Structure 1
Amino acid sequence: MSIWRPEVSPQADSPHPNPEGTTSQSTKPASGQAAGDLLLGEGANELLRERKFDAWDSRIYAISPGSRGFLEQSGTWALLDANRIAAVEEMRIFGDTGAELDFSAYQMGVPELACILEGSALQHALWQVLQTQDNLTLLHPAQCKTLTVHDGQAELALQDGCCLNAKLIVGADGRDSWIRQQAGITGNPIDYQQHGVVANFACTSSHRGIAHQWFQADGILALLPLPDNQVSMVWSVSPERAVQLLALSPDELCAQVATAAKNTLGGLHLITPPANFPLRLLTLEHITAPRVALIGDAAHNMHPLAGQGVNTGFRDARQLADILLARGVQTDCGAAQLLRRYERKRKEDIYIMQATTYGLKHLFNNTNPLLRTLRNSGLAITNQITPLKKILMQHALN
């Protein structure tokens, strides 16, 4: 767990704005789920000391152009190895009867639809940026004990006896957020009855910068481009099917993935061991409480089929920072009206992404013949309407 707090007032033109009086807490995000915030997790010191770039990380993020701009502004993007980042120039989505929906960067008028990079590399770069800021005190490792909210401030007690007082606590501590629990923000997670199986492969046919996705009766398979003609897999399947996939030999797994992908990328060679993680939906009525704001997985969980979890979390961080920096004469960064403003501005975006992923998952994970016809017809018709495709993609580019 890492905790940091700013020591000086923010400057509007600072490349690393940190509103005075805030304390942020983070832990390592739950496996396979991106917290989508600037707060790093457990093990960051080990990443800093022992970072090796020989093996590929099977946990990858699809970073939108909007999130990339945010990372560039903070100085993080410049620290990433460009040789380990792949641009997504096109997306091809297939229904379970052959219907297809395509998106291209050229059609959208942008250099790329997204960039694919490793989670560990992003965490490492973020941690480096944090350590260059002279307006932060980093407490790492640290373990929280209690959170007490008073009228004018919050008090965060640590297990080592240290006590932090702040006007605002930002909870970025993952899907099982301790801050969320302590603040009394409750929600009822919905189990998707699916696990995400992840692994990386080398392929014999060029991926040409195309992200492929297949909606199938038994799950959703995505193959995302990596450098050197490699791809990263996210296969959302039932828990039972996930166990079966993990038990396969490397050659057997490659054969099954290639078959499910219609041999689009030719033969496959496994380059990282497969892993899996449970998928769930978490929708919260409130993402703030007195003196507390949630961002990233602490504020929302969604299905990974759209690759928007990390980007939604980055938009949380961007929105909260914008509101705090534009607060004018308001000296209390944890004031209730500021937190209400943050919550209002984030609700629509979060709802759209959660509703879209929830609806698509259930639309295609359904054996109803009528729905099968409608969903595939919908893909085919949408693919012929360029203005509609631009509207659908625009939100994902932010």
Structure 2
Amino acid sequence: MSSKQQYDFDVIILGGGLVGATLALALLQQGKKVLLLEKKPPKTNLGSLSQAWDARIYAVSPTNQQFLNKLGVWPEERVQAVNRMQVYGDGHGHISFDAASVNVPCLNYMLENRYLLAKIWLALAENGVTIAESRAQSVKTDVWSAQITLENGKSYRSQLLVGADGANSWLREQVGIEVGAFPYQQQGIVANFSTVKPHHGCAYQWFRGGDILAYLPLPQQQISIVWSTSDAEKLTMLAGEDFARQVAQAGHYTLGELTLTTPVFAFELIKRQPKTVISQRVALIGDAAHTVHPLAGQGVNLGFADVQCLSNLLAQSSDIGSWSLLKQYQRSRLLAVRMMQQGCDGLFRLFANDDLPGIGWLRNQGLNMVDCSGMIKNRLIRQAMGL
């Protein structure tokens, strides 16, 4: 099985979310033959999607914005540039981040999951991607290839099988990759609001006795919130006006009264660390390869970085599923992913811990010290931006 003609596809990708679809597009533009498995393709009517806002919002770094723009899928509309961020501790601590301090136009860009996903899927159609709207049933690999059989009975063989099938990855389980799961005993609540006061492109974050609340600016004087809390059930059961009042109070009415504009959603917060992100002829990307606490808004950015790394390696190789290539992919991504996971985890636990005497004063004083250190603060900004 060394002849390329014996493969049905160069790469088969499980999962057509943002990360899997972006990898499919990048590989198609390299001239590779790609099969994308997605049971429920997204809606792609941009006019229809523009009638309402999606509560699932991502903060995309400038580095990944440039990558998506190069692929031809970055939307010019319904995007909010973030030029400042204000972070408040649970005491007197405060730190501010400003794009001007590192001579860049903005810190990141806020946009909707479904709108960006629709743009990517429209580009996939233009590039002639093959879609299989069926679930995978079984997978087999050998030293030369990977073979996947679908529920509809069809089987396909490729040089590489990529799992972009989410935090509870089916492919990861099928190939026997063990994963460490570390629950935060919290849920993340997301929803969108209109605001009385303009946000001026500024994001806000408050650490509140174990909870973390973020206001993320959107166009048209709106914000999206991510509230990491152990009281999610109580909060999500509130009537819309009461929930909006709680969110406004928790944010000290920084943007005035809020009006809820989307349904409220909640999801479990769990850090996941697979023992490996590769197997014979298999690579994992995105949430299948790692999940992080959302306090830094870096989950999707790690996924897009996976895509850039893997697609660059595949562009330079004739055997695109070789073990040496897969090991190089894993080595290239390990440090960045672990640093982000441990950084977010450490910050969460620092503010959730009140057991040690004086810990509250120390963590808030630490924020103030970093705020006064231009060099440290600017380094943090550049790292978060992928620079």
- Under a length normalisation based on structure 1, what TM-score does the superposition of the two structures give? 0.88
| SS of aligned partner of 1:167 | strand
In 1, distance between residues paired with 2:124 and 2:48? 17
Deviation at 1:326, TM superposition (A): 2.0
Question: Matches of residues 11-160 of structure 1 in structure 2 within 5 Å?
Answer: 21-26=10-15, 38=23, 42-48=39-45, 51-77=48-74, 80-82=75-77, 84-134=78-128, 136-139=129-132, 141-160=133-152
Structure 1 counterpart of 2:256 = 266
- The 8 Å contact of residues 35 and 297 in structure 1, kept in 2 or not, is answered as no
2:378 to 349, 366, 390: 390
Structure 1 counterpart of 2:279 = 289
> For residues 130 and 37 of structure 1, do their structure 2 counterparts lie closer, same or farther at Cα, with a shift above 3 Å needed?
closer
In 2, distance between residues paired with 1:62 and 1:46? 21
| SS of aligned partner of 1:147 | strand
Structure 1 counterpart of 2:337 = 350
- The 8 Å contact of residues 23 and 311 in structure 2, kept in 1 or not, is answered as no
- The 8 Å contact of residues 36 and 310 in structure 1, kept in 2 or not, is answered as no
- The 8 Å contact of residues 156 and 163 in structure 1, kept in 2 or not, is answered as yes
Percent identity reads: 37
Deviation at 1:42, TM superposition (A): 4.6
The yes-or-no answer on 1:370 pairing with 2:358 is yes
The yes-or-no answer on 1:319 pairing with 2:309 is yes
Equivalent residue letter for 2:50: F
Question: Matches of residues 241-260 of structure 1 in structure 2 within 5 Å?
Answer: 241-260=231-250
- The 8 Å contact of residues 145 and 157 in structure 1, kept in 2 or not, is answered as yes
Which digits, 9 at most, give the CA deviation of each residue in 1:212-271, with x for residues without a partner? Answer: 000110400000000111100000001xx1111111112211111111101111111111
Structure 2 counterpart of 1:277 = 267
Which digits, 9 at most, give the CA deviation of each residue in 1:308-330, with x for residues without a partner? Answer: 00000000000001111123xxx
In 1, distance between residues paired with 2:99 and 2:47? 36
Structure 2 counterpart of 1:171 = 163
Structure 1 counterpart of 2:289 = 299
Q: Give the number of equivalent residue pairs.
A: 367
- The 8 Å contact of residues 35 and 174 in structure 1, kept in 2 or not, is answered as no
In 1, distance between residues paired with 2:42 and 2:253? 41
- The 8 Å contact of residues 192 and 225 in structure 2, kept in 1 or not, is answered as yes
Equivalent residue letter for 1:307: G
Which digits, 9 at most, give the CA deviation of each residue in 1:40-79, with x for residues without a partner? Answer: 85532544498431111111000000110110111111xx
> For residues 318 and 304 of structure 1, do their structure 2 counterparts lie closer, same or farther at Cα, with a shift above 3 Å needed?
same
Deviation at 1:151, TM superposition (A): 2.0
Structure 2 counterpart of 1:309 = 299
Which digits, 9 at most, give the CA deviation of each residue in 1:125-156, with x for residues without a partner? Answer: 1111111113x3222x1111100011211111
Structure 2 counterpart of 1:13 = none
| SS of aligned partner of 1:302 | coil
In 2, distance between residues paired with 1:378 and 1:37? 39
Structure 1's consecutive aligned runs of 4 or more residues displaced over 2 angstroms after TM superposition are 34-52
In 1, distance between residues paired with 2:20 and 2:185? 21
In 2, distance between residues paired with 1:347 and 1:301? 13
Equivalent residue letter for 2:49: K
Equivalent residue letter for 1:71: L
Deviation at 1:98, TM superposition (A): 2.8
| SS of aligned partner of 2:290 | coil
Structure 2 counterpart of 1:379 = 367
Which digits, 9 at most, give the CA deviation of each residue in 1:74-118, with x for residues without a partner? Answer: 1111xx251x11110001100000311111110111111000001
Deviation at 1:188, TM superposition (A): 2.1
| SS of aligned partner of 1:283 | strand
Which digits, 9 at most, give the CA deviation of each residue in 1:268-317, with x for residues without a partner? Answer: 11111211011100012211111000000000011000000000000000
In 2, distance between residues paired with 1:27 and 1:89? 31
| SS of aligned partner of 2:274 | coil
- Under a length normalisation based on structure 2, what TM-score does the superposition of the two structures give? 0.91
Structure 2 counterpart of 1:341 = 328
Structure 1 spans left out of the alignment, 5+ residues: 1-6, 9-19
In 2, distance between residues paired with 1:195 and 1:35? 25
Deviation at 1:332, TM superposition (A): 1.2
The yes-or-no answer on 1:193 pairing with 2:182 is no
| SS of aligned partner of 2:372 | coil
Deviation at 1:389, TM superposition (A): 0.8
- The 8 Å contact of residues 36 and 312 in structure 1, kept in 2 or not, is answered as no
